[in-house]
Copies of this chain bind each other. A is one copy, B any other.
Amino acid sequence: MATIAFIGLGNMGAPMMRNLLKAGHTVLAFDLSEAACTAARDAGATIATGPGAAAGEAEVVVTMLPAGKHVREVYTAPDGIIAKAKPGSLFIDSSTVDVDSARFVAAAAEAAGHAMVDAPVSGGVGGAEAATLTFMVGGSDTAFRRAEPILSAMGKAIVHTGGPGNGQAAKICNNMILGISMLGVSEAFALAEKLGLGSQKLFDVASKSSGQCWSLTSYCPVPGPVPTSPANRDYQPGFAAALMLKDLKLAVEAGQSTGSPLPLGGEAAQMYALFCNAGFGGKDFSGIVNLLRGKP
């Protein structure tokens, strides 16, 4: 069992941290929110005075932060994690951030003699609570082997997708396919409705044909065909539209950074921006079908 610094105790970070405690690890926790720190203390963590202070007393650091700028700052500030960590520490960043930030911070960590993996997750708050998250892990083989037993206390699938930044790359590529296919399925249902073709009929054809996709057969955006999908509970997430927009923006950023044209990925980002700007960022991302139907 390790002593682990855990930075970022939000909707995802808090339950992930509690699963590390449950597994028997010692946790030094920190968050800017005092309420989050109090809850972490109640759960059994020791509260540190800051990210650097927590890292200085741990062997492993796990971070779960909102965006790339926070990750850069928390790791590379003069009193940050890299500067204050014990020699040879292991850093696990489970935030979902841009690939460039992930690689920048990993290089800085390595230059200072630490090991680092980017390990963004899928599975949402439910997966964080049940310790059933999927981790997509970028980093060296050595760093991955060190991270794996820590991650296994918080998730059930831990996939090594290559060198630094490749965890983020895998996540944004997957989620871009997801955002695009959800919009494609939603356009098809909205068009079918106008053509007088029932949702169930379209589902019956496409689910057994070349239109089959997770967005259709596991997460159908209209009520009925898949009883467990958020469409059947007024689009309560699930996976909020604001988070899909965040991931699509990261994909667009990666496309611009590498010169990769993303005609549908870019259009999908614009559509989710429209949906979120209309006030539906807290709805499940499959609710975008109602924007297309003119009934948001």
Which residues of A approach B to under 8 Å, CB–CB? 99, 122, 134, 136, 157, 159, 161-163, 165-166, 169-170, 172-178, 180-181, 183-185, 187-192, 194-198, 201-202, 204-206, 208-216, 218-219, 251, 254-255, 258-265, 267-268, 270-271, 292
A264 touches B258 (CB 8 A): no
**Closest residue of chain B to A178, judged by CB?**
B210
Quickly give the copy total for this chain.
Answer: 2
Other-chain residue from B159, B165, B166, B206 in contact with A174 (beta carbon distance below 8 A)? B206
* Residues from chain B with Cβ under 8 Å of A163 in the complex: 196
- A157, B204: Cα distance in complex, Å: 12
* Residues from chain B with Cβ under 8 Å of A270 in the complex: 263
**Closest residue of chain B to A166, judged by CB?**
B197
A202 touches B173 (CB 8 A): yes
A184 touches B177 (CB 8 A): yes
Other-chain residue from B162, B187, B213, B255 in contact with A191 (beta carbon distance below 8 A)? B255
**Further pairs besides A190-B261, A194-B258: 19, Cβ < 8 Å:** A99-B195, A122-B209, A159-B204, A165-B195, A169-B191, A169-B192, A169-B195, A174-B206, A174-B209, A176-B191, A180-B183, A180-B264, A181-B184, A184-B184, A187-B262, A191-B265, A210-B214, A263-B270, A267-B267
